[in-house]
């Protein structure tokens, strides 16, 4: 039985945990928030067959968070879930954001369940953070934490003077969530094809995803190395026939990522560097046009507090496609052709005012290669310790409708939310 070691570890952890819970009193904390969020498209355009009219988002959301730990902190649990009513289509949903139980002893801990994890040093540009993202939430104006989706599996961490290790074993695949056609305009190579199927990686042992990070300080820098084995989280599309497709299958090809990141103080600020190689295992030669080619990704960033309560962050992010010549040769006629190199520069300005009750921020990204942009201005006001409100906008634009930001040009929206924490 190949997987015996992991089952054994699971069993032992549960035994330790039950013992720890039984031996100690365990105080629980319940917290959460109520969130009302609305977002409206301001371009006057409505997606054909859309279900929201001018609305991209309209919901009431209740977050409940239960946290417990034994007094020693050895055994712990977290349940974080949302119930929400999508007012646009009058439907109620549940969303289990994060739930795990774990056991920690000395330098190590082990957790089972659904985990939200953020790796890497980029601000909205992710290289070694191979975990699923919810771009629908982000681009429709939900709070930023909703960009991250949980992964289901086992997480173990080990901390020491020499190296910290963070290991994930993820048996169940979660793809990224992209804005839906009912509420967003975006580029679809197969727009006219209605016969569609989706195939996620089967729940097989051989499809278990793993990701590991090794990190330590090296001469005042935070250095991390990453390795992951899993699948692209953005669907690839395979048509039955490239010349005259009648059906399209969405699928998630195999992907390995190897990378590194570094963060350190520099010139009065913090500088960040990150790079990775996206090894597209099902298309090593780059001759299958339906599967993304392997690519290099890199990022350089710098953040600095320019003056009191005012911070500037700037980044440059790039992707370089491997086997570009083969890609061009094998791309079917009439298909959108990606560039060999895609670069995006970004700027984030944050100003706190009036004892940090007001926060003004702007995130701006611009790609000189795609010739497109994304702007997200935001104003947040903390009315009291419990009540806060945010007004902001997502503004997209570009020369072409095929680029990442350019495709959303008709989906510019203004969002507003009110949140009560308890």
DSSP conformation class of 1: -
Considering only 90, 192, 244, 308, the residue that binds another protein (CB under 8 A) is 308
Q: Are 413 and 140 in contact (CB under 8 A)?
A: yes
Sole residue written with tokens 């924490």: 421
Q: How far is the CB of 355 from another protein (least distance, A)?
A: 5
Name the residue nearer to another protein (CB basis): 157 or 369. Answer: 157
Q: Which of residues 118-137 bind another protein (CB under 8 A)?
A: 118, 121
Q: How far is the CB of 201 from another protein (least distance, A)?
A: 24
x/- string (CB under 8 A) for another protein, residues 309-338?
x-x---------------------------
Is 422 a residue that touches another protein (CB under 8 A)?
A: yes
Is 104 a residue that touches another protein (CB under 8 A)?
A: yes
x/- string (CB under 8 A) for another protein, residues 165-204?
----------------------------------------
Strand order in the sheet with 236-239: 195-199, 247-251, 236-239
Is 214 a residue that touches another protein (CB under 8 A)?
A: no
Considering only 382, 396, 403, 411, the residue that binds another protein (CB under 8 A) is 382
What is 319-372 written as a DSSP string?
EEESSHHHHHHHSPTTSPPPPSEEEEEEEEEEEEETTTTEEEEEEEEEETTTTE
| C-alpha span between 290 and 407 (Å, rounded) | 20
Burial class (CB in 10 A: 0-12, 13-18, 19+), 302: middle
Q: With CB under 8 A, what is the number of residues at the site for another protein?
A: 52
Name the residue nearer to another protein (CB basis): 202 or 220. Answer: 220
| C-alpha span between 275 and 256 (Å, rounded) | 14
| C-alpha span between 12 and 195 (Å, rounded) | 48
Is 219 a residue that touches another protein (CB under 8 A)?
A: no
Q: How far is the CB of 348 from another protein (least distance, A)?
A: 12
Q: Rounding to the nearest 10 degrees, give the CA dihedral for residues 136, 77, 420, 394.
A: -20
Q: How far is the CB of 266 from another protein (least distance, A)?
A: 9
Considering only 153, 388, 392, 406, the residue that binds another protein (CB under 8 A) is 388
Is 110 a residue that touches another protein (CB under 8 A)?
A: no
Neighbours of 40 (CB within 10 A): 17
Name the residue nearer to another protein (CB basis): 42 or 262. Answer: 262
Considering only 304, 328, 340, 410, the residue that binds another protein (CB under 8 A) is 304
Q: Are 315 and 330 in contact (CB under 8 A)?
A: no
How many alpha carbons fall within 13 Å on the CB side of residue 86? 14
Name the residue nearer to another protein (CB basis): 4 or 355. Answer: 355
Is 164 a residue that touches another protein (CB under 8 A)?
A: yes
Among 37-45, 51-59, 191-199, 302-310, the segment contacting another protein (CB under 8 A): 302-310
Q: Which of residues 9-68 bind another protein (CB under 8 A)?
A: 31, 33
Please choose, from the candidates 410, 399, 401, the residue with its C-alpha nearest in 3D space to the C-alpha of residue 184. Answer: 410
Please choose, from the candidates 57, 140, 152, 177, the residue with its C-alpha nearest in 3D space to the C-alpha of residue 96. Answer: 152
Q: How far is the CB of 396 from another protein (least distance, A)?
A: 23
How many alpha carbons fall within 13 Å on the CB side of residue 61? 26
* Inter-CA distances, 317 with 62, 122, 340, Å: 36, 9, 14
| C-alpha span between 281 and 398 (Å, rounded) | 32
Name the residue nearer to another protein (CB basis): 72 or 203. Answer: 72
Please choose, from the candidates 223, 227, 202, 199, the residue with its C-alpha nearest in 3D space to the C-alpha of residue 213. Answer: 227
Tokens of 282: 């099902």
Within 27-172, where are the H helices?
135-139
Q: How far is the CB of 239 from another protein (least distance, A)?
A: 36
Is 72 a residue that touches another protein (CB under 8 A)?
A: yes
Q: What is the widest separation between alpha-carbon atoms in the chain?
A: 68
Considering only 43, 157, 282, 314, the residue that binds another protein (CB under 8 A) is 157
Is 162 a residue that touches another protein (CB under 8 A)?
A: no
Q: Which of residues 233-292 bind another protein (CB under 8 A)?
A: 263-265, 268-270, 272
Q: How far is CA 43 from the centre of its chain?
A: 27
Name the residue nearer to another protein (CB basis): 247 or 311. Answer: 311
Residues that bind another protein (CB under 8 A): 31, 33, 69-73, 104, 107, 109, 115-118, 121, 144-145, 147-148, 157, 159, 164, 215, 220, 222, 263-265, 268-270, 272, 303-309, 311, 352, 355-357, 382, 384-386, 388, 419, 421-422
């Amino acid at each position: 039985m190949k997987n015996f070691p992991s089952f054994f570890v699971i069993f032992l952890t549960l035994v330790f945990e039950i013992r720890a819970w039984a031996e100690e009193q365990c105080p629980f904390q319940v917290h959460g928030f109520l969130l009302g969020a609305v977002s409206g498209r301001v371009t006057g355009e409505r997606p054909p067959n859309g279900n929201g009219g001018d609305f991209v988002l309209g919901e009431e959301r209740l977050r409940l968070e239960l946290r417990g730990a034994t007094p020693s902190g050895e055994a712990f649990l977290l349940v974080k879930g949302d119930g929400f009513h999508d007012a646009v289509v009058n439907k109620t949903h549940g969303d289990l954001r994060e739930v795990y139980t774990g056991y920690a002893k000395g330098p190590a801990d082990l957790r089972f369940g659904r985990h939200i994890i953020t790796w890497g040093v980029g601000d909205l540009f992710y290289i070694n953070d191979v975990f699923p993202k919810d771009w629908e939430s982000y681009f429709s104006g939900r709070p930023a934490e909703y960009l991250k989706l949980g992964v289901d599996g086992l997480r173990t961490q080990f901390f020491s003077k020499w190296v910290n290790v963070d290991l994930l074993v993820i048996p169940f695949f979660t793809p990224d969530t992209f804005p839906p056609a009912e509420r967003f305009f975006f580029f679809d190579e197969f727009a006219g094809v209605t016969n569609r199927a989706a195939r996620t990686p089967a729940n097989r042992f051989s499809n278990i995803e793993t990701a590991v990070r090794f990190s330590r300080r090296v001469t005042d820098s935070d250095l991390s190395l990453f390795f992951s084995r899993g699948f692209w989280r953005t669907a690839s599309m395979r048509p039955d026939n490239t010349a005259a497709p009648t059906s399209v299958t969405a699928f998630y090809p195999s992907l390995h990522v190897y990378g590194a990141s570094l963060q350190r103080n520099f010139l009065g600020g913090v500088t960040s560097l990150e790079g990775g190689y996206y090894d597209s295992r099902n298309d090593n030669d780059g001759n299958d046009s339906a599967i993304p080619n392997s690519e290099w990704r890199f990022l350089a960033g710098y953040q600095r507090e320019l003056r009191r309560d005012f911070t500037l962050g700037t980044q440059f992010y790039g992707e370089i496609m491997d086997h570009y010549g083969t890609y061009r040769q094998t791309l079917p006629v009439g298909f959108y052709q990606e560039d060999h190199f895609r670069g995006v520069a970004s700027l984030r300005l944050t100003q706190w005012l009036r004892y940090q009750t007001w926060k003004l921020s702007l995130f701006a990204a611009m790609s000189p290669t795609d010739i497109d942009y994304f702007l997200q201005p935001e104003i947040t006001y903390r009315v009291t310790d419990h009540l806060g409100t945010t007004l902001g906008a997502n503004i997209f634009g570009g020369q072409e409708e095929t680029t990442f930001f350019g495709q959303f040009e008709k989906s510019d929206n203004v969002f507003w939310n009110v949140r009560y924490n308890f």
